[in-house]
Amino acid sequence: MISTSINSDEEELKFEGDEENEVIALPVPQEKRAIRTNSSDPEIESLHGKFKRGKLILQSPFQRLFVWEPVKASRLIESALLAVPLPLVYLSEEANGTELVIDGQQRLTSFFSFIDGTLDGKPFKLKGLKVLPELNNKSYKDLDETIQDKIRYYQIRTITILQDSNPDIKFEIFERLNTGAVPLNDMELRNCIYHGKYIDLLKTLAKDSDFRRLLGLNRPDARMQDVQLVLRFAAFYHATYLRYQPPMKRFLNRDMESYRDISKDDADKLRNAFRNAVQIVISLFGESAFKRFHGGTETNPNGNWETKQFNASLYDIMMGVFWNKDKNRVFAALDALREGFIDLMVSNKDFIDAILIGTSEQGKVKKRFHLAEALVDDILQSYKKQPRCFSIELKNQLFALNQTCALCQQQIRSADDAAIDHIQQYWRGGQTIPENARLTHRYCNMSRPRNE
């Protein structure tokens, strides 16, 4: 299961479950798994020049604004003056000809900041030097030209991952180089690797006010998990669940790669589909959207809604089955649809299994989508015929009159945990009319023998 807990203090979505520990399988020939690289030893001046011309990207939008303290940056400069070899810098060649710094951002930032005279917006003077203490409190301009040259012409080994490298292996390498104090998660890495028009669109959609309301957020998630949820919707929208191939990580990566430079037409279609789904889901479930309804048990027939965690598998299907539905038809059948989804969550064992265990397996993904689509299509197609579900209005009326379960004779604690049971069962020709209705626990209704 993937579920998401919402931290009300930091408003940060935290994912946990099967998909967090996925290993990307690579069922491709050995010769196609190659990472093509280029090694070189450029001088700091050369790298600084590329940076100034916009050809070397130090800090992509995904990266947290962190800069080394002046003492640490100063000691790096001292190491260069002492000709001490520094760790490798890893770069990634981009489609537009630029190079993106994957590992080594802080080292290069320290060099460039010292040459430019400011670090994090403040004058940068050397401090804390132990081997060359006579240089403390001096800026780059204060140094003799011979010392400046040692910095300008210092060579640092770089390895550039070339553009045509295998994308799956490339993503794995980015992950392994991701060794910061707070490692980047998968979505933050995607924001780096696939930066462009598509990621900008996903971020914009994540700011939708109704979508934030569904997630319980007042501002963007600190770790981009809200953007990842938009990506999940987009990936299933583009590929459909029928073409889903596990693992989920690679499925999402493929979508990012394919639509990185998304066209205006495709962007407009995705935007409209996303908004249509969000508006329908918020009308159906409100704050309970994407959360499970837990059915009662034999010892305690009272069920309840999950309050803190929401289930990403439910998110996939709720968003995925409504993006192309006519809102007028859906709104006419809201009561039946809501009842139908709650019934799936408490009584359909195949559905429950598909949203809780091994959720990224191909069979589980197809199973939950198939069951949800069948439910929605059946309700929308037959809604004007003899309805199977009683109305919410009737249920609320019965609940207000008497909160006792007609089957177990115990109190029903909430209207959502109540079900209206056909006294003469529907499959035997029982009509969906008030005279044939009685209020029960969902659990009791589900447990009622069907051969009465």
Rounded-to-integer distance, Cα 141 and Cα 144, Å = 8
Mean pLDDT by 10 residues, the chain (452 residues): 41 48 44 76 97 87 62 96 93 88 89 94 94 97 97 96 83 77 80 88 96 91 91 98 94 95 97 97 92 87 84 96 92 89 93 93 97 94 66 89 94 92 73 87 80 50
Q: Which residues pair with 56 in a beta bridge?
A: 99
Exposed, middle or buried by CB within 10 Å (0-12, 13-18, 19+), for 182? exposed
* Residue partners of 28: CB distance under 8 A and separation at least 6: 166
- Which 8-state DSSP code applies to residue 294? E
Parallel, antiparallel or unpaired: strands 89-93 and 158-161: parallel
- Residues 6 or more apart from 74 whose CB is under 8 A from it? 126, 127, 128, 129
State how far the Cα of 239 lies from the Cα of 423, in Å rounded to an integer.
Answer: 44
pLDDT at site 335: 86
User: What are the backbone dihedrals phi and psi of residue 12, each rounded to the nearest 5 degrees, phi first?
Assistant: -115, 130
pLDDT of residue 310: 81
Q: How far apart are CA 117 and CA 430, in angstroms?
A: 83
Q: Which amino acid is at 399?
A: F
Q: What is the largest CA-CA distance in the chain?
A: 98
pLDDT (0 to 100) of residue 381: 86
Can you list the domains of the chain with their CATH numbers? 36-164 (no CATH), 390-452 (3.40.1800)
Q: Is 75 helix (H, G, I), strand (E, B) or coil?
A: helix
Q: Helix, strand, or coil here: 341?
A: helix
Q: 204 vs 11, 197, 207, 230, 271, CA distance in Å?
A: 18, 11, 5, 10, 10
Cis-peptide into 247, omega within 30 deg: yes
Helices 264-285 and 197-206 pack at an angle, to 10 degrees, of: 20
Rounded Cα gap, residues 209 and 373, in angstroms: 26
What value does the CA radius of gyration of the chain take, rounded to a whole number of Å? 29
Q: Residue 62: what pLDDT?
A: 44
Half-sphere exposure of residue 12, counting CA atoms within 13 Å on the CB side? 7
Rounded Cα distance, 313 and 241, in Å: 12
Say which residues have a Cβ less than 8 Å from residue 98's Cβ, sequence separation at least 6.
54, 55, 56, 57
Give pTM, 2 decimals.
0.68
Residue 98's Cβ-count burial label (10 Å; 0-12, 13-18, 19+) is: middle
Contact (CB, 8 A) for 411 and 427: no
